[in-house]
Structure 1
């Protein structure tokens, strides 16, 4: 199950974002003023879930985009899930969750955290996404890892032209989740510096890299534990059967026993 605390827009406004590409042409994307979800509706939904469920926070938009500092809605949702012992997977491009108030509320038994990094160069990243600088995100991952949280770097999308693999492998990060770029006409228009001629596989309205190309790129990553999320059916089956450590969960969530 996915839950977006903010919707119909995201202040990070990433040029490769599939949600932006889906909503923009319908006139439903407002990057400056995302809608704020109704906390009472969220509470009722959480209360109806069986204990042990896991909710993904951040599906179509980022649950820790800058407006969280104003509304603190994600903070309230985490407290509610802690109360009802509901697990949560936080997927974010923000370093906000390492602020003291969030470190205090995150429950190690319930929290699973994946922080997305697409490029390690702060200036280059700022050209196509308005999230926390990657140096801050890397520090957040290292902080959470050192404190014993179930945390991974999420290379999503992993774009070979934008990643310094030697630097990535030197960070001491223990776990990663990999997801490759999917391309449509809007993303081609917004996102520069990518050789789109390599994206030859068509599925579900998007163009994808061939599996052999994906395998070659994954081999450049020397992070100890790798898992790959995948949209292309045949590629998903390959990663599940031969690469992913957890065949039932491509996000490879870990249970923490403090």
Structure 2
């Protein structure tokens, strides 16, 4: 379901490292990822996550006014929503915002799970400082489809990374969240190395409010034999990730891929 809304502000201060501002063209996200913690961040209270998307139809107009007075800084495009989710095909809010950001020469960092980003290649190439990050959580398409039902396929995302790089766009990969006993990190690192991103950011599954219920339901339906393991890791605090992340770092060194582990919230 799509709902058109109007907003009073566009750029919000960001607490994420490397970002001065957050810009989210939509509220809600049709990708409906089971592990997403955005609902707790934006205090989502409008039904099941993924079933409603609010389109900020006046966002470009508000952004245009703000860019005239805001101090220049890096804008994170899509910090609690995907700027290239299906609604963007029709509304083009992200594209119109990019046009304005390019006009004012603001640095931009995009994060997405959608190959629709390739539509805006002409705009992306117009920036003096821009990078595009693509999230990858699993190589197995059957797993991806269950965890991220509304997002682009793994193949489409890898192709997007290749096309962006070929066109001189700086790319990065968010390998995360690493889902215990589901994410094949070695295979993912090997595949990511082939598309040669500028760097890779690795992160754990973060169980903010409401996430555990969705993840538990997913595991119960997908691989119920893992339920006890997930409870041991996330409810009783077993240190699963230390060894996994050390292995990721070693493999990245072998493949000559710059790798950072997200320590926020540890």
Q: TM-score, normalised by structure 2?
A: 0.75
Residue number among 180, 183, 186 corresponding to 2:204 in the alignment: 180
Task: Provide the residue aligned with 1:166 in structure 2.
Answer: 187
**Unmatched 5+ stretches in structure 2:** 1-20
Separation of aligned partners in 1, 2:178 and 2:107: 27
Structure-1 residue corresponding to 2:250: 219
**5+ residue gaps, structure 1:** 234-258
Say if 1:48 and 1:209 are closer, same or farther in 2 by CA, change over 3 A: farther
Q: 1:33 to 1:208 in 2, by over 3 A?
A: farther
Alignment check: 8 A CA contact 1:173 1:223 kept? no
Q: Residue 48 of structure 1 aligns to a residue in which SS?
A: coil
Structure 1 segments (4+ residues) deviating >6 Å: none
SS at match of 1:27: coil
Q: Which residue of 2 aligns with 1:47?
A: 68
Root-mean-square deviation (CA, aligned residues, Å) is 2.6
Which of 158, 161, 173 matches 1:141? 161
Higher helix share: 2
Q: Of 112, 117, 123, which residue of structure 2 is paired with 1:105? A: 123
Match of 2:137 among 82, 95, 118: 118
Give yes or no for contact 1:82–1:110 (8 Å, CA) kept in 2. Answer: no
8 A Cα contact 1:6 1:35, kept in partner: yes
* TM-score under structure 1 length normalisation: 0.77
The offset of 1:131, in angstroms, is: 0.3
* Higher mean displacement: 182-191 or 56-65: 182-191
**Is it true that 1:19 corresponds to 2:28 in the alignment?**
no
Task: Give the paired residue count.
Answer: 225
Residue pairs, 1:1-258, within 5 angstroms: 1-7=21-27, 9-21=28-40, 26-27=45-46, 31-37=50-56, 38=58, 39-51=60-72, 53-99=73-119, 102-106=120-124, 107-129=126-148, 130-164=150-184, 165-166=186-187, 168-171=189-192, 172-174=194-196, 175-184=199-208, 186-191=210-215, 192=219, 193=223, 195-196=229-230, 197-199=232-234, 211-221=242-252, 222=255, 224-233=257-266
Q: Is the 8 A contact 1:117 1:154 kept in 2?
A: yes
- Secondary structure at the residue paired with 2:143? helix
Contact 1:115 1:152 in 2 (8 A): yes
Query: Counterparts of 1:146 and 1:113 in 2: how far apart (Å)?
Result: 13
78-87 vs 17-26, greater mean Cα deviation: 17-26
